[in-house]
Structure 1
């Protein structure tokens, strides 16, 4: 086992947590800048309708990302525990099974969406004004980006399962810089509009995948990616899928909710629905950018907890919970402060259109009001995936979106009008956080019991060894 990987079970938890989360967060935020830059270029150069066009198809991109995280996160959860238990050969088999699953999904999803793209756009409620932008942006992504995303999740999550956060950061940062450069070239030089934005994204994703593969094939990792090198292992494939389902549910729920929100906005004839779609699209870009450090915390939290649970270091799992909860809440408070007190300054980076600016700021208040609780819920609920407890993980991943947000979205607008859409955000955040706190306290009691039993067993072994020596 490499020294870097074994550090997961030996280094102080707080330093390990931030040492892993910080470079991933930096990498992801730089990588996430391409979403922000896309929005700035599209809104300021091409127009508000163009922003609405790429925003209204964003749920499809989120769904593909959700499928990719099902494969990668499910694999990483298993691999982290296998590394903790020193089962390297089983871990390599798990990686191979994950690759096969990702490749199969890439083929099925790409063909399926390509053959039904017009029906899909109609289903999303794309207006005549937004249709050309939505179609031109989506088609290149379907044919090229989506297969890359589904397959490249394997090398990326292999690096994070081994705790090699710096290598992940290098891949993300370099591809993000390339994306920003290509955005400028395709929009300003080649004048390709939203189609150019799509091709900039595709080329940067290809580059990122190549960087990740370079690290793995170049011997920078303990484990290896050897496609089709192992005998088909259906139980492992099932485990990857089952443990990936919680994250799929969570991300697919975001996709569903964004799509349903956009559709709900279009049902209010008394407002400019295309304006609201564009405004909510900007909020979505900002939300994703601010969520990226939370995802980095989740990756760090899950990797450390999973490794130490596999190694039976239950005291370190308990310490990881404490650090993860505190860090996620503090970060969330910082984000809320920015978006509640200076929203116009932040949104003004994207647009100077006064109608769009005012509409976006109004939505931002409700979206970020209880962001600290939403952020903590996402990080803490990943504990159960890390411990291999799929049932609890699935429930907690489903809770905020499916059991709270979507019902609220269907009910509150009928009472409060279009404002009811935005009221659903803080309501769901508060209830979901209360529930996850209950679950994590219950699991904490279980871990305390396991820790005491483990210490008693170790003490008994030491006593036996002493008696034998005597």
Structure 2
């Protein structure tokens, strides 16, 4: 036994031994539930804000691009850390896994410093660039909301870091616990701080931001505690720490494509806001409502992704091809079932979904056909999302980045702009299904390539993808 392996736990990691069906359920269900609750509190957050006014809802909607960028950096870094940690554990390199965890913590700290500076410097010009002299109330509320979220983003970054440590070692139940605690805290505090209940001053939109930040801090504390008490496979110690350029480079080699991929979503939402605000602030509010609603159906799929990434990466490191393939197949079936529910909801009850946000007659007139058109893309998106996760887990995250760039920048935004000029507001929404078809074609191409170059070369049974 090498020195590298002397700190290995006595028991074999469940990601290499537990039956795949049970393992996928064990790993992903807690993450899916916690992500579903997170989506729920995002929706509840906007429901409360919408009760203030449509302008308040628009102000929060316009904050999405920078919020998306913040989450992209946090989760993208986590993708790199997760894949590297799980692969090291699969190879029984436990000391290396500890070093990966410490260097990742250093990266999260640097990320917070960047967003702290951005919170003080770019929020006001960011809003000014989107609304161009529109209602001053929207701009004032939006600046207060977004500035609060970014300046106090240390809670979100710490939460995601500690949760990803738990996920990488298969302890998704504890990760779910931390997310539930944060989400419930946010849901409870939202009405209290927005409307001034129980002696709290009425803070309006800013109250929603403060409730969100407090919820993130609570989740971070719970996730830290769970790591300290229960995560025996990774020990984070900073004594004598020196940044390891090789480890940092590897984390970012896997994580940066994911960061870019999600940051593209930031560019997409910013560009869509610019296109839609030319029609009306109500159109922008509808887009914001869509983003909240789609999270309710996509967040469980992302929770599934968080569960299967370490499984695929671990078994890739252990060179167990059969378990990798079975994981991919089961995750595809599960993702389809989840997004099909979203498709049915958007097609059958769009008026009910919009009604939760105190929708005006104008918002219903714009939103009902918009949701039905956008809903078509659920029939395709499930496959592309799982493919992206497979690429990342196998160290081909650049493929995910290419697909995302194609979908959201090369296709979606140009098509949205052209449709807005040719057919007006009601046809703009077709940009989403059109972009999804393009991403499907490219995802299939890359999946066949990954199977040929990586999966099929692992000597493990006769299964093929």
With normalisation by structure 2, the TM-score equals: 0.92
Q: Which string of whole-angstrom CA distances, capped at 9 and with x for unpartnered residues, describes residues 12-60 of structure 1? A: 212211222111111111122221111111112x111100011111111
TM superposition shift of 1:116: 2.8
Q: Which string of whole-angstrom CA distances, capped at 9 and with x for unpartnered residues, describes residues 233-292 of structure 1? A: 101101111211222122111111111111111223xxxx11111111111111122211
Structure 1 partner of 2:377: 370
Structure 1 residues 449 and 51, CA, compared in 2 at 3 Å: closer, same or farther? closer
Distance across 1 between alignment mates of 2:306 and 2:327: 12
Structure 2 partner of 1:232: 243
Distance across 2 between alignment mates of 1:88 and 1:209: 24
Structure 1 residues 158 and 350, CA, compared in 2 at 3 Å: closer, same or farther? same
Distance across 1 between alignment mates of 2:117 and 2:20: 45
Distance across 2 between alignment mates of 1:226 and 1:294: 33
Structure 2 partner of 1:43: 50
Aligned 8 A contact 2:103 2:248 in 1:
yes
Aligned 8 A contact 2:376 2:433 in 1:
yes
For 1:200, which of 198, 211, 231 is the aligned residue? 211
Structure 1 partner of 2:143: 135
Structure 1 residues 278 and 2, CA, compared in 2 at 3 Å: closer, same or farther? farther
Structure 2: state its 5+ residue gaps: 1-7
Q: Which string of whole-angstrom CA distances, capped at 9 and with x for unpartnered residues, describes residues 36-93 of structure 1? A: 111111112x111100011111111111000111211111111011111111111111
Distance across 1 between alignment mates of 2:202 and 2:296: 26
Structure 1 partner of 2:118: 112
Q: Secondary structure at the match of 1:369?
A: helix
Structure 1 residues 317 and 278, CA, compared in 2 at 3 Å: closer, same or farther? same
TM superposition shift of 1:139: 2.0
Aligned 8 A contact 1:8 1:163 in 2:
yes
Aligned 8 A contact 1:97 1:233 in 2:
yes
Matched, 1:329 2:327: no
Structure 1 residues 356 and 454, CA, compared in 2 at 3 Å: closer, same or farther? closer
For 1:385, which of 360, 374, 392 is the aligned residue? 392
With normalisation by structure 1, the TM-score equals: 0.91
Number of residue pairs matched by the alignment: 449
TM superposition shift of 1:224: 2.1
Range with greater deviation from structure 2 (135-144 or 158-167): 135-144
Distance across 2 between alignment mates of 1:438 and 1:160: 29
Moved over 4 A (4+): 1-5
Structure 2 partner of 1:465: none
Structure 1 residues 302 and 448, CA, compared in 2 at 3 Å: closer, same or farther? closer
For 1:415, which of 419, 422, 426 is the aligned residue? 422
For 2:92, which of 73, 86, 105 is the aligned residue? 86
Distance across 1 between alignment mates of 2:365 and 2:221: 42
Structure 1 residues 265 and 393, CA, compared in 2 at 3 Å: closer, same or farther? closer
